[in-house]
Chains A and B, each alone.
Chain A
Amino acid sequence: MTLLELTDVTRSIRLPDDRMLHILQGVTIAVDAGEHVAVVGRSGTGKSTLLNILGLLDSPTTGEYLLEGVPIGRLSNGTRTRRRGRDFGFVFQQFNLLPGRTALENVAAPLLYARGRQFWNRTKLATAMLERVGLGDRIDTMPDKLSGGEQQRVAIARALVRGPRVILADEPTGALDVETGGAVMALLDEIASQTGAALVTITHDLAVASRAERQYRLTDGVLVPIQLDTQSDWVGDVPTLVANRSAASERRLPEPEVSA
Chain B
Amino acid sequence: MTGIVGAIVEAWDELRIHKLRVLLALIGVACAVTAITSVTAMIAMLKQATQEQTDRQNGRLVSLTVNAYPMNESAATPTEWDAAFDQLLDRYSITYASRDAWLQVPIRFADGKRAIQIRTVDADLGTINRITPATGRWFAEIDDTALAPTLVVNEAFLHSLGLVDLSSHPTVEIGDRAPVTATIIGVTRDEWPDAEPTAFVLYDQYHRWIGDDGSGIQSGGAAPAEGSAGAFMNQQVAQMYLWVPTDQASELTARIKQDMQSVAPGWQVDVQDNNYGSGGLDKASRYVGIGIGGIALLLGGLGLVNIALVTVRYRIREIGIRRSFGATSGRVFFGVMLESVVATFVAGLVGVTLSVAIIKNIPIERVFGGGIQDMPPFPLSAAVVGMVCATAVGALAGIIPASFAVRVRVIDAIRY
Contact = CB atoms under 8 A, between A and B. Distances in A.
Interface of A: 48, 52, 55, 57-58, 77-78, 81-86, 88, 90, 92, 96, 98-101, 105, 109-110, 112-116, 119-120, 162
12 contacts: A57-B411, A77-B329, A78-B328, A81-B327, A96-B414, A98-B318, A98-B321, A100-B18, A109-B325, A112-B325, A113-B322, A114-B2
Contacts of B323: 57, 81
* Most B CB within 10 A of own CB, among A78, A81, A85: A81
Nearest to B321: A96
Nearest to A58: B411
A110 B2 CA distance: 13
Given A81-B326, A81-B329, 11 more contacts: A55-B324, A78-B330, A82-B326, A96-B321, A98-B321, A100-B17, A101-B17, A110-B325, A113-B6, A113-B326, A119-B6
Interface of B: 2-3, 5-6, 9-10, 13, 17-18, 317-318, 321-331, 410-411, 414
B410 A57 contact: yes
B327 A113 contact: yes
Nearest to A118: B2
A34 B323 CA distance: 25
Contacts of A92: 414
Nearest first, the 5 closest Cβ-Cβ pairs linking A and B are: A85-B326, A110-B325, A100-B17, A119-B2, A113-B326
Contacts of A96: 317, 321, 414
Contacts of B317: 96
Nearest to B335: A112
B328 A81 contact: yes
Contact of B13 (A57, A78, A105): A105
A110 B321 CA distance: 10
B315 to A, nearest CB: 9
* Most B CB within 10 A of own CB, among A48, A86, A90, A113: A113
B327 A101 contact: no
B326 A110 contact: yes
A76 to B, nearest CB: 10
Binding site of B, secondary structure by majority: helix, strand, loop or mixed?
A: helix
Contacts of A90: 324
A85 B327 contact: yes
B313 to A, nearest CB: 15
A77 B312 CA distance: 22
A84 B326 contact: yes
Nearest to A78: B328
B410 to A, nearest CB: 5
Contact of A112 (B10, B18, B324, B329): B10
B13 A85 contact: no
Nearest to A48: B411
B281 to A, nearest CB: 52
A208 B92 CA distance: 101
Nearest to A96: B321
A116 B1 CA distance: 9
Contacts of B411: 48, 52, 57-58
Nearest to B322: A109
Contacts of A55: 324
Nearest to A161: B325
A219 to B, nearest CB: 21
A23 B6 CA distance: 37
Contacts of B414: 57, 92, 96
Nearest to B323: A81
Nearest to B14: A100
A85 B325 contact: yes
Contacts of A57: 323-324, 410-411, 414
A84 to B, nearest CB: 5
A162 B317 CA distance: 21
A109 B276 CA distance: 65
Contact of A99 (B3, B9, B318): B318
A115 B4 CA distance: 11
A238 B328 CA distance: 42
Contacts of A99: 318
A48 B17 CA distance: 31
* Most B CB within 10 A of own CB, among A96, A105, A112, A120: A112
A48 B329 CA distance: 22
A124 to B, nearest CB: 15
A98 B331 CA distance: 18
* Most B CB within 10 A of own CB, among A109, A114, A115: A109
A21 B6 CA distance: 40
A52 to B, nearest CB: 5
A39 to B, nearest CB: 17
A82 B331 CA distance: 11
A120 B10 CA distance: 14
* Most A CB within 10 A of own CB, among B6, B17, B321, B325: B325
Contacts of B3: 115
Contacts of B324: 55, 57, 84, 88, 90
A114 B3 CA distance: 8
A27 B187 CA distance: 102
B49 to A, nearest CB: 50
Contacts of A101: 13, 17
* Most A CB within 10 A of own CB, among B5, B323, B326, B328: B326
A100 B321 CA distance: 14
Contacts of A119: 2, 5-6
Contacts of B2: 114-116, 119-120
